[in-house]
Structure 1
Amino acid sequence: MCLRVAISRPSGVAWSSGRTRAPVECGRRAMKRLPFVVLSLLGLAMGSEVQAEPQRPNVVLIITDDQGHGDLGCHGNPIIKTPHLDRLAGQSVRLKQFYVSPVCAPTRASLLTGRYNYRTRVVDTYLGRALMDPEEKTLAELLGASGYRTGIFGKWHLGDNFPLRAMDQGFQESLVLKGGGLGQPSDLPEGSSYFDPLLLHNGQPVRRKGYCSDVFTEAALEFIRQAGDRPFFTYLAYNAPHDPLEVPDSYVEPYRRLQMKPADFPQPGRGFAVNFDPTATARTYGMITNIDDNVGRLLDELDRLKVAERTLVIFLTDNGPQRPRYNSGMRGLKGTVYEGGIRVPCFIRCPLLGLKTRDFDRPAAHIDLVPTILSACSVPLPAEIKIDGQNLLPVLRGEQDSLPGRTLFFQWHRGDAPQPLRACAARSGAWKLVQPVPPGSMPPRFELYNLEQDPFEQRNLADERPDVAARLREELAGWFKDVSSTRGFDPPRIKVGTGAENPTLLTRQDWRGPRAGWGPRGLGHWELEFTEGSYEVVAIFDGPPPDRARLEIVDKVVELPVPREANRIVLGPVALPSGPGRLTCTLQRGQDTAGPKYVEVRRLP
């Protein structure tokens, strides 16, 4: 009789060095090699066969910001230089029809929850519409609970204050910018540049030397180096190539010298000659080449650490390009539900999982990555969590030929709450229904395309196939009713006066109201939840000082004159009970009113 230990692994996949396992030979010599504690714990009988727990992969999830499908050399762009991403694509399963949301915060909500963003309260990118409900369970929370080290480096864009921050939502290590990107009103005071950025490290302000994409990459590499024997989840979320197009000139100059024009690019499908800006394109390509260099650094480090084979690397982008440039001939840009706005690159590599280099040509989406990653990591989804995505792993590994039939849905437009059948699309098999018109004075316009025959959305078949158009329109309406009923669209409240964050810095990123905006005349309010206590509120402003400042907080009003030459004023103290409340701060200059640049809310000892 003999004892065999069987290790389950995909056939034809080499284990990484130092981790090789094989069936143990029969006889006494083999038994001596097995630790006694293993035998005693397993209670093995001679001749039994034991399945060892499969090795769990590390996870590196890379996402870029406003990089389109055509912004890669491997996607037919003859100008841009992306050798490392091209190499990754050549080693990966390439999802040829991979979809995201038309803009960034909705994509990130779906990417990290496996749920349509409307279920999470995230409906837009700013003005309090990009705050994810803290009750949502993120991929980081699920992996962390299963023993993974979790870290985020870059752009979170789902809430800047407690309990909505990345560090509150499962990321044990975080180095993040605020809001939707650097150079926006969400920036910390004294921090608005891609160079030497002022960031938040585990909730504390820190200025890091260097260019932002380099900084985030180095932090991610250090996190990976410190992993030890624990599996890690690294979320590397670049804010490039999002505007403003700040990048070292050494990356821009090679593209600037080319004096690019549309005729330099392939011309399939839709052209992009109208409004093509060679200067902006040169800066964008420079930012992407910098990202490519950083991805190369990361891939090389995985090789050096001898963890590349057992690391699941996923690369994608968050939406289409932000302005006209080569986009693989697809129609539309960021912010639209045409293919050019929502179809993006997605590469998945992991030798440990038996993923072979090939094209996967069936529709998939951001909502599918949570169940796929959880399956790859042998982490069960808790029964109480309902997701919209499908586990792609069986088809990616070739264990299944196809996915269960389904329709994918996409929608985005500005506003505090979405409206049904506005700026939306549905993809089912070869068919795609598009209604591109946002709310306003224009009536809806439904268009139907067969993407197998017409991938560039040039021939509207709505009149020829009204049956298909009607079916997909009905599905869209049903989907909207379903996702709208999950939580509604009121924003989650920022909690102030807690031990987790005090003081709380509020920015124009998260205020709301009919006058809320990023311009100098903007005026809005914040929806908060207070801990009982005495509070001091500081209004911070720039430009000429106002004449007076008025604070409305819950049911209290404080109004004071503003000293000349001041750039801030302290309002309070104000005693408040526990519970929800609204805060509005109004600055008056003559007959004009506006809001401050920042409001700091501090609960006093």
Structure 2
Amino acid sequence: MNIMKLALLSLSMLLVSADTSLAVEERPNVIIIMSDDQGVGDYGFMGNQVIRTPALDAMHARSGFLSKFYVSPVCAPTRASLMTGRYNYRTRCVDTYLGRAMMDPDEVTLAECLRDAGYQTGIYGKWHMGDNYPMRAMDQGFQDSLVHRGGGIGQPSDPIGAEGKYTDPVLFKNGREVPMKGYCTDIYFDAAMEFISSSTEAGDPFFAYIATNAPHGPFDDVPHKLYEEYRNTDLSSLLVSPLPEKRREEEFDKLARIAAMITNIDENVARLFSRLDELDITKNTIVIYLNDNGPNSMRYVGDMRGMKTHVDDGGIRSPLLFHWPLKVEPGATSSKLCAHIDVFPTILDACNVPIPTSGKIDGRSFLSLLTDEDANWPTRQVVFQAHRGNVPQPLNHFAIHEDPWKLVHPSGFGNERIKGDAKLELYNLEKDPRQLHDVAAVHPEITNRLTKAYEAWFADVSSTREDNFAPPRIVIGTEHETATVLTRQDWRHASGEAWAKESNGDWLLNASDSGKYEFEIILDSDQHPAGTATVAAGNLVDHFEIIAGQQRGHRTTLSLPKGDVNLSIELTLGEKSMGPHQVVVTRL
């Protein structure tokens, strides 16, 4: 943590301690549960007649509910906004991989604010904003951390020998690689409940962030009994458009697997509430449930259209359940426009913790919407934008909302640059929630006004800091992470398809001090011929042999100067050239 960030947090905590009304024992506990790729329509209380979510349906009945709550179209941007109360474009987290899911370590997180206000803090599951120091969850305010790397299990960031394992995964406990037993979602909830119990026994308020990687793919390892149940269930009502017969069986099998993962989450929510009841802390524990983006297939999203990666409403909507029996009446509902950026200030408001002064907070507390029938909520504009690429591009794949209007350019998540003029679409969501009738030509004054508002927003978030969209650097050679594992999740892609076997890239590093560093090169398997490796770190270059049939143990050392350095490694194996699967960097 830099000196300025530490000073601002210290000042905030002095303000807290000076207010005698903020007794720690009176503060609510906080639990945020966020699923991965569960869509807005994947709940019984949202009209789904197939996927069983009885615990969440019951939670909905006794909770506050935001019926017009928005998130980003993909996961890492939502997580950055959730943790900071800021648009993700302010945080340097702009995409989901290739080094662009890393959040700037100077960002002040919800975990840091609550930790410094006397809370115990824990995260269980998916972080997805940096796998290495200083961007790990444990570097950003979480005192207890049990997470997987990257954007999900089954990606190139998996530990060697544990690739794609939802059952008996290898996870990272406070930075240490630990083999686990059980299904990943069950493991996260078990660990969270253990943390909750120990915090409660110690008399400490707690913040538990349970972020499942389910129902994100891969789908080959799912709860078996639930899968068998859904495999024998008619899932046709989940389809939003007809499929040819040859594709129906495959799609229904995928839906059965997704449904099994969702119901498994629901069963764990039931277990969690039982534990809160056993500990007699349910009344003053805030439990929030939401999903991180739209569904990971074209399936039921109620009266909307769209899926994950889309900026249409089906791709950026989530229910927001807010369970706090002490303050929020069952059935308290608001249809005001709210979003992921609002969770951070809402929790700090509920916990009587001051908003940090280190940067602009874009969200606003929605607590009064659930506790005060006469709450003032001025009309606002909220923007959602995410697309592939190194630098965000204006007008590309965005939506700006101002009730009841939605101005959108759904140009596609995979496109970094727009070719030609952007054709903007305008919808009145109150009359046309499915976005079937573009009225931009009918209301040019609204189209122009919202376009100017979007352009002002883009200029604002883009100027948050100097060189705002430069990727953060991984810091090597510190006591905080003695061995740094570099994966394709965070390399800057240079050639080939991003994660293809014969692709390559480089890593942006910062050597904490000058000295000798060892580089161990790991290949994706032991099925390869002999070859050579060329390691380049800044102006330093080394060549050495790669032994045939050996996955890891290929090592060399370089003496690095202190400061920024770009690391690239090219392997020549037979007639093929490629980058390494992973690299372990250790300061000697």
Task: Using structure 2 for the length normalisation, give the TM-score.
Answer: 0.91
Partner SS for 2:494? coil
**Alignment size in residue pairs:** 550
Partner of residue 518, structure 1: 499
Q: Residue type of the partner of 2:222?
A: V
Of 420, 423, 448, 2:394 maps to 420
Give the C-alpha shift of residue 329 in structure 1.
3.0
Change (3 A) 1:327 1:442: farther
Change (3 A) 1:51 1:67: closer
Describe how 1:178-189 pairs up with structure 2 within 5 A.
178-189=149-160
Give the C-alpha shift of residue 386 in structure 1.
1.9
For residues 321-354 of structure 1, what are the alpha-carbon distances to aligned partners after superposition, in whole Å with 9 as ceiling and x for unaligned?
A: 0111111131111001000000111100102224
Change (3 A) 1:452 1:189: same
Partner SS for 1:514? strand
Give the C-alpha shift of residue 272 in structure 1.
3.2
For residues 158-205 of structure 1, what are the alpha-carbon distances to aligned partners after superposition, in whole Å with 9 as ceiling and x for unaligned?
A: 000000000000000000000101010011111221010100000001
Contact 1:115 1:367 in 2 (8 A): yes
Describe how 1:343-422 pairs up with structure 2 within 5 A.
343-398=317-372, 400-422=374-396
Of 521, 526, 531, 1:547 maps to 531
Write the distance in 1 (CA, Å) between the matches of 2:22 and 2:68.
Answer: 36
Describe how 1:284-303 pairs up with structure 2 within 5 A.
284-303=258-277
Write the distance in 1 (CA, Å) between the matches of 2:227 and 2:328.
Answer: 39
Contact 2:544 2:556 in 1 (8 A): no
Write the distance in 1 (CA, Å) between the matches of 2:556 and 2:531.
Answer: 18
Write the distance in 1 (CA, Å) between the matches of 2:350 and 2:195.
Answer: 21
Describe how 1:158-177 pairs up with structure 2 within 5 A.
158-177=129-148
Q: Residue type of the partner of 2:334?
A: F
1:566 aligns with 2:550: yes
Q: Residue type of the partner of 2:423?
A: R
Give the C-alpha shift of residue 135 in structure 1.
0.1
Partner SS for 1:167? helix
Write the distance in 2 (CA, Å) between the matches of 1:216 and 1:538.
Answer: 31
Contact 1:337 1:436 in 2 (8 A): yes
Greater Cα offset, 393-402 or 548-557: 393-402
Structure 2 residue ranges without an equivalent (≥5): 1-17
Of 280, 286, 293, 2:254 maps to 280
Of 457, 464, 481, 1:501 maps to 481
Write the distance in 1 (CA, Å) between the matches of 2:232 and 2:420.
Answer: 43
Give the C-alpha shift of residue 486 in structure 1.
1.1
Write the distance in 2 (CA, Å) between the matches of 1:272 and 1:75.
Answer: 19
Write the distance in 2 (CA, Å) between the matches of 1:573 and 1:458.
Answer: 60
Give the C-alpha shift of residue 238 in structure 1.
0.4
Partner SS for 1:146? coil
1:456 aligns with 2:437: no
Give the C-alpha shift of residue 591 in structure 1.
4.2
Write the distance in 1 (CA, Å) between the matches of 2:395 and 2:22.
Answer: 51
Give the C-alpha shift of residue 242 in structure 1.
0.1
Q: Residue type of the partner of 1:196?
A: D
Contact 2:290 2:318 in 1 (8 A): yes
Partner SS for 1:513? strand
Partner SS for 1:88? helix
Write the distance in 1 (CA, Å) between the matches of 2:436 and 2:504.
Answer: 43
1:533 aligns with 2:515: yes
Partner of residue 157, structure 1: 128
Partner of residue 251, structure 1: 226
Partner of residue 39, structure 2: 68
Contact 1:525 1:584 in 2 (8 A): yes
Write the distance in 2 (CA, Å) between the matches of 1:298 and 1:184.
Answer: 29
Contact 1:185 1:509 in 2 (8 A): yes
Contact 1:551 1:571 in 2 (8 A): no
Write the distance in 2 (CA, Å) between the matches of 1:219 and 1:287.
Answer: 18
Give the C-alpha shift of residue 564 in structure 1.
2.5
Structure 1 residue ranges without an equivalent (≥5): 1-41, 43-49
Write the distance in 1 (CA, Å) between the matches of 2:495 and 2:319.
Answer: 37
Task: Using structure 1 for the length normalisation, give the TM-score.
Answer: 0.88
Of 385, 404, 407, 1:430 maps to 404
Partner of residue 221, structure 1: 193
Write the distance in 2 (CA, Å) between the matches of 1:78 and 1:566.
Answer: 52
Write the distance in 1 (CA, Å) between the matches of 2:407 and 2:381.
Answer: 11
Write the distance in 2 (CA, Å) between the matches of 1:491 and 1:149.
Answer: 30
For residues 191-236 of structure 1, what are the alpha-carbon distances to aligned partners after superposition, in whole Å with 9 as ceiling and x for unaligned?
A: 2210101000000010110000000010000000101211000000
Write the distance in 2 (CA, Å) between the matches of 1:445 and 1:385.
Answer: 34
Change (3 A) 1:422 1:546: farther
Q: Residue type of the partner of 1:491?
A: P
Write the distance in 2 (CA, Å) between the matches of 1:564 and 1:279.
Answer: 40
Write the distance in 2 (CA, Å) between the matches of 1:285 and 1:353.
Answer: 33
Partner of residue 465, structure 1: 443
Partner SS for 2:26? coil
Q: Residue type of the partner of 2:69?
A: F
1:204 aligns with 2:184: no
Change (3 A) 1:545 1:137: farther
For residues 124-165 of structure 1, what are the alpha-carbon distances to aligned partners after superposition, in whole Å with 9 as ceiling and x for unaligned?
A: 000000000000000000000000000000000000000000
Contact 1:57 1:352 in 2 (8 A): no
Q: Residue type of the partner of 2:211?
A: A
Write the distance in 2 (CA, Å) between the matches of 1:199 and 1:52.
Answer: 36
Write the distance in 2 (CA, Å) between the matches of 1:352 and 1:509.
Answer: 42
Partner of residue 579, structure 1: 563
Write the distance in 1 (CA, Å) between the matches of 2:260 and 2:324.
Answer: 29
Give the C-alpha shift of residue 514 in structure 1.
3.0
For residues 420-464 of structure 1, what are the alpha-carbon distances to aligned partners after superposition, in whole Å with 9 as ceiling and x for unaligned?
A: 000000001200001011425464221000011111111100010
Q: Residue type of the partner of 2:517?
A: Y
Give the C-alpha shift of residue 569 in structure 1.
5.0
Write the distance in 2 (CA, Å) between the matches of 1:504 and 1:174.
Answer: 17
Partner SS for 1:568? coil
Partner SS for 2:38? coil
RMSD of aligned C-alpha atoms?
1.7
Change (3 A) 1:379 1:52: closer
Contact 1:545 1:567 in 2 (8 A): no
Partner of residue 585, structure 2: 601
Q: Residue type of the partner of 1:286?
A: A
Write the distance in 2 (CA, Å) between the matches of 1:175 and 1:431.
Answer: 41
Q: Residue type of the partner of 1:455?
A: P
Greater CA radius of gyration, 1 or 2? 1
For residues 505-557 of structure 1, what are the alpha-carbon distances to aligned partners after superposition, in whole Å with 9 as ceiling and x for unaligned?
A: 10000000332611111100000000211011111102313511100012100
Contact 2:22 2:352 in 1 (8 A): no
Contact 1:562 1:569 in 2 (8 A): no
Partner of residue 67, structure 2: 96
Contact 1:356 1:397 in 2 (8 A): no
Q: Residue type of the partner of 2:187?
A: V
Write the distance in 2 (CA, Å) between the matches of 1:586 and 1:451.
Answer: 51
